[in-house]
A and B are shown apart, each in its own frame.
Chain A
Amino acid sequence: MRRFPSWVWPIAVAVFTLAVSRLVENEYYMFAGYVVLQYIVLASAWNILGGYAGYVNFGSAAFFAIGAYGTVVLDKLGEPPLVVAILFGGIVASLVGLVTAYLTLRLRGVFFAIATLALAIVLQTLVMNWEFVGGPLGVYTTRPDSITGFPGYVNYLFVVMLVLALISVLVARAIELSFVGRGLAAIRDNELAAECCGVPTFRLKVLAAMLSGGLMGMAGAPFPYYITYLDPNSAFSIAYGINSIAMPLVGGMSHWIGPVIGAVLLAVVQQVATVTISSELNLMIVGVLLISFITLAPNGVVGLFERYRQQRHWRPGK
């Protein structure tokens, strides 16, 4: 059988999902599907810096919230098309990524991790004190009128997020297979050696931080229209921080499909747990899964699968 190039698969799956979504009547599935797709974007974006280069970002919530509040600001000034809001969120978030990276990525990786943790709280404090976007009370955003060709606005948002998820998976894949990905992998394995071999380590790290932050900002941009009421606690929710780390770790960080597997797995588990048990237990489940995967299966689901394949391959007598 002839093998397709691997970029065909994400597109095929996205088209298939789109086709199925047109048949779904129940709006709840659109709501739930949106969250899963949003986590695919966040997890893939996190993995560009965290998985490929080994620099841990604890502040995914900050970048996500930049996108969300960027839309709120645009919405207050006039009604922007969603595409403009998404681009705006992406650009601002990648600029914040640039500044954070520039300040801390010359130091050891730990400092970057702590700085991103700090970034989330600084930005939350800023938003809390910024009356224009509602301060601590939050802000209502009215959805624009339904888009022609879609049964409801949620269906439209679902498709937008599907496109964003596809873009981020393809971007992650392109980076992984290009010289950028090889450079980042060299940084992860031994930064000093990489630097000595002529890898432009600092520039690659900054580039990865900008791309990663920008994609997270784009994921956040449609969020105000999704929940229609945005307050600092939901935009900066710690759930984004832990999920975007746990998902690539559970799925596997070395391959672009890992974050996707992790995101689908964990997001579905959480959606089910929210409906059937309680929303607090969600974080518990994620925390326990995170700890058990990093101790028992450090390379995630992808790693388990590859080990299985290798064992089968190497079995003597075959």
Chain B
Amino acid sequence: MVTFNLLLNAVVTGILLGGFYAAVTIGITIAFGMLDIVNIAHPAFIIMGSFIAYIVNRTFGVDPILTVIVASPLFFLLGVAIFSFYHAAFEGSGKGSLRGLAFFFGMLFVIEVTLLLAFGVDYRLVQTSYIGPNVGFEHVDLPLRMVIPFVGSIALVSGLHIFFGHTFVGRAIMAVAQDEFALSLMAVDTVAIRQLAFGIAIATAAIAGGFLIVIQPVDPSLGREYIGRVFAICVLGGMGSIPGTVIAAFILGVVETITSTLVGPSWAPAVSFATLLLTLAVRPSGIMGR
């Protein structure tokens, strides 16, 4: 029997999960939506972030979220390096899209297998004070391990939204997303701007990885489950739109938890893909698409 209480709990959990999904997807929104770089290896970078949080937490006992915030500049540099390589190898020739796609696909495997060889197939988890206890309202129990990543995710996404709307560099990135060619006619170094933006996208992967390992135990191949999810959210949200990404992430989170509550958890993975196919078939420009 499905009670109102159960449904309410599912919706609230879904919203918490949705907030986290927004943080996971934001890097794709920047890379794929704004820069047109189909980085399908993004979830693999997120798992990499999780494992960094795991190692530091296990050896020094440092908080995982603090760790990844410190580690994110390193991911930024990694992103800049990958972009330079990607740009030099694939973007000049004009026929780059297929090969660029295959490049990231190969990268996904290299990262995954490296982690697999280094850590094995076991699930890894971290220990902090906020994993375990719940905060309760009248009828709703909120696990703190979901609330903290939710708050962090919303802070990350809002911060980026303000950055893109109100700073000079952020608006330059938005301008590149809108019309790179026109910008290059005004003597702007669009490659440098895109490099910076891709660095930011990969840096968000580190932070999302920290949240991920707080929410659930992580194994090297977990990233695959997120590939479809992040692209579903990105497309549903309207590609390059940050508010659209957040709305789509909430929708997907709620639909997923309701499906697991009503039908069973084994059906949850199909939700995001059904959403994606439906969006592509009915409204490919997404909720906030132009």
Contact = CB atoms under 8 A, between A and B. Distances in A.
Interface in A284-318: 284, 286-288, 290-291, 294-295, 298
Interface residues of A, number: 41
Interface in A210-266: 238, 242, 245-246, 249
A107 B117 contact: no
B103 A114 contact: no
A295 B89 contact: yes
B280 interface: yes
Given A113-B101, A115-B276, A121 B109 contact: no
Interface stretch (A12-20, A125-133, A142-150, A160-168): A125-133
B145 to A, nearest CB: 25
Nearest to B275: A118
Nearest to B36: A110
A249 B110 contact: no
A68 interface: no
Contact-size category for B: 35 or more
Contacts of B113: 280-281, 283-284, 287
B157 to A, nearest CB: 22
A110 B266 contact: no
B54 to A, nearest CB: 19
Nearest to B104: A291
A82 interface: no
Contacts of A103: 277, 280-281
Interface string A74-117: 00000000000000000000000000000110010111011101
A283 B117 contact: no
Nearest to A294: B99
A125 B224 CA distance: 14
A289 to B, nearest CB: 8
Interface of A: 50, 54, 56, 58, 103-104, 107, 109-111, 113-115, 117-119, 121-122, 124-126, 128-129, 136, 238, 242, 245-246, 249, 280-281, 283-284, 286-288, 290-291, 294-295, 298
